A and B are shown apart, each in its own frame.
Chain A
Amino acid sequence: MNEYLSSICKEVIAGNQTEVIELVDKALKNGILPLTILKEGLTRGIESLGTKFKTGEVYLPEILISIRAMNNGLNLLKPYFRSSNDFQHEGTIVIGTIEGDIHDIGKNLVRLMLEGTGFRVVDLGVNVSSSSFVKSVCEHKADIVGISALLTTTMIHIPNVIHALKQNPLCDRVPVMIGGACITRGFADEIGAEGYAIDCTSAPEEAKRLMKGREKRL
């Protein structure tokens, strides 16, 4: 890999925003394409955090400073892209906390991770009803729906969203991924949610897996 790109990746992982800005600037001046800098430098750095998170090499503070460093680098690249679709290339995900639940810390971290790995995220916020999920999925032509729930008393509303999506021919094939304190893989399987992320760093990997499945179906 190009020296600049590997250094950008390394500094994103270390969360060094000043170094990332300098390196992105230098990479651009040396003729490296913005999309290459994004994919091979910035995004690669964020993606490798997922593995480090799972092995306990990094924790939430390190994730946050890495995402901040990446976003600072991305700000330098944005003027080179015609539209946000150029750097949000992985797909569109509508996310929200389920109806009755107003917790958003986990959901917000998932949003940051997804954006950092190239997804376009439409965040509906908290206490989101089935109809709002469906409306937004259709409006934004979303590829995936992400639903968060903290409480046992609210996770029971997630099947309503899945049911509502299946009832609408415009979004009946959009896969759902879920997560949150009370959610398990078993629960996801039980209610027919195709994706499950145990934590924020697992979300991009799971979303990419769902995207591949979606491409095959389409």
Chain B
Amino acid sequence: MNISARNRFLNISHFKTHDLCLPSSFFLFWPETLTLWMEGGAPHTIKNGKGRMNYFKLDHARFLWEVHSGLEVAHYEFRGQLYTYFITPLIPSYESRIIEEDENSLIITNEAGQKMMINKIHAGNMPMYLDHPVRDKASWENIKKRLDPESPGRWPVVWDEYATRFHNRDYPLGLSVGSLFGFLREWTGLERLLFWMYDDPMLVEEMMDHMVFLETVIIKRVLKDIKIDFALLWEDMAYKAGPMISPEMFRKFVMPRCSKITELLRKEGVDIIFVDSDGNIDKLIPLWLECGVNGFWPLEVAAGMDAVAIRKKYGKEVILAGNIDKRQLTKGKELIRNEVMSKVPFLLGQSGYFPCIDHLVPPDVPFENFIYFLNLVREICGLEKIDNLLPIIR
């Protein structure tokens, strides 16, 4: 009998099975990657999430995206080209508009009030942020007005009907529970936020306190009617040499507030709490564990993250997802095999692991390499390959 994706997800997270689960919500792609794959012969069904899930035989998993609580994907369409970026959940959002345009780039203000430059030549690249909406306490107050948890626009129109959709489901369901450091950085810019941690720590704490207020109201309302399986914090607060702030600052600013969010989640029965942070988070893992966060994704290899070492160090304290080096997927099969075989058999053998790429799949990953990676993982678990679905790549 087939075990549902939801049960597999829960059993793996609770170290009860050595089974495989490839949650579709952990497999992210740059739009340019999909475009190139389709141009090269991949079926156009991979353009949308459901099509990708079926084609790549991923396990259905989803977030409550309709509740505006976490980082969101946004698109800007300009002359038929779609540019993708991420925004904070401001309700109402700012009006998105073009400020300048030249041959190579567009400068726009986006829905989150940021001024950003979009590369027209390389549409898949992340934008460069030129200015941020929070410059002082007064401008923070303006953003704060857009962070009311009770704003009607933050919630599906017919809540009861919406909540009923998730009863008796067979797939894992997640809730984005916002961000402390990450969202503040989006509103202030990195440099200003880091200065404020010394120059105006009370304002930083006030901003973070409001994030706790926003998220706890949302969590309470959601969990009253919907049983979720996991929660996700988005922070991106490390780069390849380590955290952006010291452990002491983490303890001062982040820990007490993060703990309030995780305590509420755990009290309501949600014991799988992931944090999404690129960069080297080795020094942050014990701190997040202390805050009640127990899942780590995507474990970026280029920043020195090693899921095998983390498993050996922390045992069943940590649930891991990712850590397959995106750079190896751009290379030949032998290197992909080395990457997968050096990690996946051990990690699946220990349970508490979801194999996936350590970031969004970039456009220089050939389609056939991605399929090869998936098949290797399936082969390790004795599952049927997906070669029979491969189109002819020219």
Contact = CB atoms under 8 A, between A and B. Distances in A.
Contact of B239 (A65, A104, A154, A181): A181
Interface in A46-66: 56, 58-62, 64-65
A127 B245 contact: no
Given A58-B246, A102-B119, A153 B363 contact: yes
Contacts of A60: 190, 194, 244-245
B327 interface: yes
Grouping DSSP codes into helix (H, G, I), strand (E, B) and loop, the A interface class, with mixed when no group exceeds half, is: loop
A184 interface: yes
Contacts of A102: 105, 117, 119, 125-128
Given A100-B122, A102-B128, A64 B194 contact: yes
Interface residues of A, number: 31
Interface string B97-122: 00000001100000000000101011
A47 to B, nearest CB: 18
Interface string B216-247: 00000000000000000000000111111110
Interface residues of B, number: 37
Nearest to B302: A182
* Max chain B C-beta neighbours (<10 A), residue from A58, A61, A106: A61
A152 B122 contact: no
A102 B105 CA distance: 10
A115 to B, nearest CB: 15
Contact of A152 (B119, B239, B364): B364
A52 B126 CA distance: 32
Instruction: Please provide the 5 A-B residue pairs with the shortest distance between their CB atoms, ordered closest to farther.
Output: A102-B128, A61-B194, A199-B241, A59-B246, A100-B122
Given A59-B246, A153-B124, A181-B279, 20 more contacts: A56-B242, A56-B246, A58-B246, A59-B243, A59-B245, A60-B245, A61-B198, A65-B195, A102-B105, A102-B125, A102-B126, A102-B127, A126-B117, A127-B119, A152-B362, A152-B364, A153-B363, A181-B302, A184-B302, A198-B240
